[in-house]
Amino acid sequence: MNARAMVRTFFLAPSAPTNLAVCRIIFYGGLFCFFFSYDVAQWAYWPADSWTPVWFIELFGPLPSARTLSVLGVVWKVSLVMGALGFFREVSFGIAAVLGAYVLGLTGSFVKHNYDIGLPVILLFVFWVARSTDAISLDALLARRRLLPPPAPSGEYTWPLALTRVLLALAFFTAGSAKLGHSGVAWITTDNLRWLFMAQQYTHTPPLNWAASIAEFPWLCRLLAGGTVALELGYPLALFVRRLRPWLVLGVIALQLGIQLLMGINYMAFLLANVVWVDWAALGRMLRGKLRQRPELNAITN
């Protein structure tokens, strides 16, 4: 198989719509839960000299009033619910994507840029243009009521998930490369991570106060630094090496959760993208098989 055929198979191999549908539900539902308490109107009260908008925020013009921002936030959250339900994709998903780019972009438009919202925003657009409501959705239910045929396996349900995996691989590989590019192996062999652990205790409020205790062991900090760079640089192997995939993906998830717990830096919106690594259709078949093997549960479900 030549390179072109391999790329085509990777992105466009026919698959059922189930995996894409489950990922849609988890992604939109997760974003709604994570940003439910996000007060978009807060940005109207920040000092004007702290306004440093990223380029796509500038396209929307001056910062609107607090009332307008509040309305935009409510509309965006409603569109996320409609996304999880899979209703009226062409409109509701478009609103979720465009408003999502704006309200999330505002989090990086004051004082410092927020690079963690880039992938979630891109995925909002991916789910908008993809056929992500062809299964397990209100759109699919309405289609059945109109007696439309069920969707056949197609590459249309494969490329959004494959693209997300590639974006994840690029994001982590770039992070690891940047560490070595700016600091070299000194990022690992010096007390860099140790000082970061200590500094975050004064600038953030992490759920766990273990970072200062970990910082007392320089060798452990260097070990964690080396493991971090190794996971980030090795993450692209998850695209091609199945045996390494669970270790790399779970390792990076553990890494980000550890950063959140020890340093107070929240990657939850970014972590939601990892749902694309799970074969939800196969998991569903396995669970149904387990249920059939238990007569008491089978009787209930029947």
Of 49-53, 126-130, 187-191, 201-205, which has the strongest mean pLDDT? 126-130
Residue 67 three-state SS: helix
What average pLDDT does the segment 83-112 reach?
Answer: 93
Instruction: Give CA–CA dist 133/140, Å, rounded.
Output: 6
Instruction: Give CA–CA dist 244/237, Å, rounded.
Output: 7
Q: What pLDDT score was predicted for residue 1?
A: 66
Taken in order 52, 174, 27, 90, is the CA torsion positive or negative?
Answer: positive
Cβ atoms of 13 and 158 closer than 8 Å: yes
Q: What pLDDT score was predicted for residue 296?
A: 52
Low-confidence winner among 26-35, 94-103, 157-166, 278-287 (lowest mean pLDDT)? 278-287
Q: Which residues lie below 8 Å from residue 249, measured CB to CB, with a gap of 6+?
A: 235, 238, 274, 277
Average pLDDT, the chain: 90
Report pTM: 0.89
Structure tokens at 190: 């010096």
pLDDT at 201 exceeding the cut of 80: no
Q: 118-129 and 159-183 are packed helices; what angle lies between their axes, rounded to 10 degrees?
A: 160
**pLDDT tens across 256-302, in order?**
999 889 888 888 878 899 999 999 988 888 887 777 776 554 544 33
Q: What pLDDT score was predicted for residue 210?
A: 87
Residue 191 three-state SS: coil
What average pLDDT does the segment 231-251 reach?
Answer: 95
Per DSSP, 112 falls in state B
pLDDT at 24 exceeding the cut of 60: yes
Percent residues over pLDDT 70 in the chain = 96
Structure tokens at 9: 């198979």
